[in-house]
Amino acid sequence: MASSTKPFAHNDPAWYSLANRMFFRLYQCANILHKTGTRAVEDVGLTTQRWAVLGALSRPEITDGISVGDLATYLKVSRQSLSGITKRLEEDGLIESAADTSDGRSRLFRLTNHGRTTFEEEATPLIEQFYDTAASGLTVEGLSHALHYIMVLLENMEALDEDQREGVSGICD
């Protein structure tokens, strides 16, 4: 049975040109965020990946810990890439893991006291300086609009990811 191509939602070449430019700029932003963000926090032994994990674990609702699967889902990374980061953070005494009392097969990660102090007292001021420079020229309203559109893209790409994992390409019937 031959598959037919679904029509594109937008037939406007200008729309596709702008979408292409936007996604390329997002790609560039992600790359430079990693480079400049890591430089911003390297004096306290962090990278953007380590910063993201510590930030995720510093949320008030995570005091009892979070499973590696839930942490990977929250950060939108694979469990495999997360395992190397968490291993090094544990070795540095910034996080700890313990057996999940409700599921002995699972481990929960949480910040150590040293990790919380490092993140809140040492890294956070550096992160705030980074944000101040990287987001200069953006008003609260501008940041709010940017965040809204980034969230729309994130939700759309999460749905795409789900479809792809289920074997639905969205292009062919």
CA-based angle 82:36:148, to the nearest 5?
A: 75
**pLDDT tens string 97-136:** 988 888 777 889 999 999 999 999 999 999 999 999 999 9
* Coil, strand or helix at 33: helix
- Which residue, 159, 63, 67, is CA-closest to 104? 67
Q: Is the pLDDT of residue 150 over 70?
A: yes
Structural domains in the chain (count): 1
Q: How large is the average pLDDT for residues 24-38?
A: 97
CATH at residue 88: 1.10.10.10
Structure-derived torsion over alpha carbons of residues 55, 59, 64, 66, reported in degrees to the nearest 10: -50
pLDDT for position 11 = 81
Q: Which domain holds residue 100?
A: 31-127
Give the per-residue pLDDT at 7: 58
Residue type, 46: L
Flag whether 155 is in a domain. Answer: no
Q: Is residue 72 one of the residues assigned to a domain?
A: yes
